[in-house]
Amino acid sequence: MIKRKIFSVLGMLLLILLTACGENQTTQEIKEEKKLQIVTTYSIIFDIVENVAGDHAEIYSIVPIGADPHEYDPLPEDLTKTTDADVVFYHGLNLEEGNGWFNKLIDTAGKSKNVVHPVSEGVEPIYLETLGQTDDPDPHTWLDVSNVIIFAENVRDHLIEADVENQEVYKKNAEKYIQQLEKLHTKTLDKIQDIPEENRFLITSEGAFKYFEKAYNIETGYIWEINSENEGSPKQMSDVVDLIREKNISGLFVETSIDRRSMETVSIETGVPIAGEVYTDSLGKEGTDGDSYIKMMESNLNVLYQGLIDGDD
């Protein structure tokens, strides 16, 4: 009888220990599996955040690859992801302003301002030149690689605010990524300077390359200044044709995320060929030359170099 009681007590203790261990293991697994839920407005920011966050976040990008972040109609899934997000990163500086789509999304999702961050904070803006828009910044800051270094630093700091336990990981990831960006910036400077000065003139559909122009000493021209409803008007087309003839431009460039028909019309009108396709507002799809920010900029550099060097023949 005594032995049975002893075995019964031991059995109960063993069961309690096993249950406690199971609960601790489950709690630990839940803790390990919990990652920051992050939303970014478009693919370029997604890639930057992914490089800094590493495996410690689940990241959702709102605007699909190849689409225009200037103007976008959010989907129900975008609202759900934004509502559930721990951190939201957007560009700012007049990028996500079309129809006020981003501000409406944030308001509808009920997000507090202290978890919604512009990655471009600290970047010196260049302003638009079009009459009536001269108080608006040109948003295409990321085409100057040195600005993306600022993006990465901002992302690092806000990730640390949201997840201080993993701050050393974010610091290490950011440091590694920034080193890669610094090499890319230097490479771009050097390669553009190898193009004869008289050939350093870049014509695109949208005037997205002002920051690139300032950073890398190359002149730019365009059909329209920023994506809007007024794209490819007769006046815009006439002005760029005159510019091409005046500057004796030998090659034109189209963008992956913009309808190329306006530039094709300009090419026919001037007899100047389209020399290549560049990335501006979006990364390329997975497996393409532009499926990361660094690869996108390297692709642009190679396309521009080849297209503008060929004009010297």
Reply yes or no on whether the pLDDT at 284 is more than 70: yes
Residue 77 included in any domain: yes
Domain match, 59 and 172 both: yes
The number of distinct structural domains making up the chain is 2
The predicted structure's pLDDT at residue 223: 96
- pLDDT band of 21, cuts 50, 70, 90: low
Question: Which alpha helices (H) appear in 124-233, and where do they start and end?
Answer: 145-162, 167-193, 210-216
Distance separating alpha carbons of residues 174 and 50, to the nearest angstrom: 10
CB atoms near residue 24 (< 10 Å)? 10
Residue 243 has pLDDT above 50, yes or no: yes
Average pLDDT over residues 246-263: 94
pLDDT mean over 63-73: 92
Regarding whether 242 and 257 lie in a shared domain, the answer is yes
Distance CA 196, CA 200 (A): 7
Read off the pLDDT band of 133 (50, 70, 90): confident
- Look at residue 100 and tell me if it is in a domain: yes
C-beta separation of 144 from 208 below 8 A: no
Higher pLDDT among residues 1 and 276, named by residue: 276
Looking at residue 28, its pLDDT comes to: 46
Does residue 28 lie within any of the structural domains? Answer: no
- Average pLDDT over the chain reads 90
Query: Are residue 69 and residue 147 in the same domain, yes or no?
Result: yes
Q: Could you read off the pLDDT of 156-186 as tens digits, one per residue?
A: 999 999 999 999 999 999 999 999 999 999 9
- Least trusted range by pLDDT, from 54-63, 125-134, 158-167: 125-134
Mean pLDDT of 217-227: 94
Asked if residue 19 belongs to a domain, the reply is no
Distance from first CA to last CA of the chain, Å, rounded?
A: 104
Q: Tell me, yes or no, whether 78 and 100 share the same domain.
A: yes
Are 82 and 212 within one domain?
no
Helix or strand holding residue 262 (H, E): helix 261-270
Mean pLDDT of 38-59: 98
Distance CA 119, CA 65 (A): 19
Q: Which of 6-15, 78-87, 123-132, 204-213 is predicted with the least confidence, judged by mean pLDDT? A: 6-15
pLDDT of 302 > 80? The answer is yes
Q: Does some domain include residue 112?
A: yes
Separation CA 44–CA 95 (nearest Å): 12
Task: Kindly state whether residues 116 and 138 are assigned to the same domain.
Answer: yes
- If asked whether residues 71 and 178 sit together in one domain, one would say yes
The pLDDT of residue 20: 53
Share of the chain above pLDDT 70, in %: 88
State which residues form the domain around 176.
36-183
- DSSP line for 276-304: EEE-SSSPPPTTSTTSSHHHHHHHHHHHH
Q: What is the pLDDT of residues 86-127, one digit of tens each?
A: 999 999 998 998 779 999 999 999 999 999 999 999 999 999
Does residue 12 sit within a domain? no
Taking the C-alpha atoms of residue 155 and residue 161, their distance in angstroms, rounded to an integer, is 10
Comparing CA positions, the residue from 106, 100, 113 lying closest to residue 158 is: 113
Q: Domain check: are 157 and 228 in the same one?
A: no
Q: Among 133, 166, 183, where does a domain finish?
A: 183
Mean pLDDT of the region 38-65: 98
Is the domain of 142 the same as that of 208?
no
Do 199 and 84 belong to one domain? no
* Domain boundary residue, one of 152, 183, 214: 183
Question: At residue 297, what is the residue type?
Answer: M
Whether residues 290 and 213 share a domain: the answer is: yes
Residue 229: what pLDDT? 58
> Mean of the pLDDT values across residues 187-211?
97
* Residue pair 91/120 in contact by the 8 Å Cβ criterion: yes
* Cα-based angle 276, 127, 279 (whole degrees, multiple of 5): 20
How many Å apart are CA 299 and CA 284, to the nearest integer?
Answer: 10
Please give the structure tokens belonging to residue 102. Answer: 């981003």
Q: Specify if 29 maps to a domain.
A: no
User: What's the mean pLDDT in 44-68?
Assistant: 97
Indicate which CATH number applies to the domain containing 192.
Answer: 3.40.50.1980
Residue that finishes a domain, picked among 183, 200, 215: 183
Single-letter residue type at 193: Q
Question: Looking at residue 3, what is its pLDDT?
Answer: 45
Residue 12: per-residue pLDDT: 55
Which residues have C-beta within 8 Å of that of residue 194, sequence separation ≥ 6? 305
Burial (0-12, 13-18, 19+ Cβ within 10 Å), 63:
buried
Do 105 and 179 share a structural domain? yes
What span, in angstroms and rounded, lies between the C-alpha atoms of 297 and 149?
A: 14
The answer as to whether 9 is a domain residue is no
271-290 burial, b if ≥16 CB within 10 A, otherwise e? Answer: ebebbbbbbbbbbbeeeebb
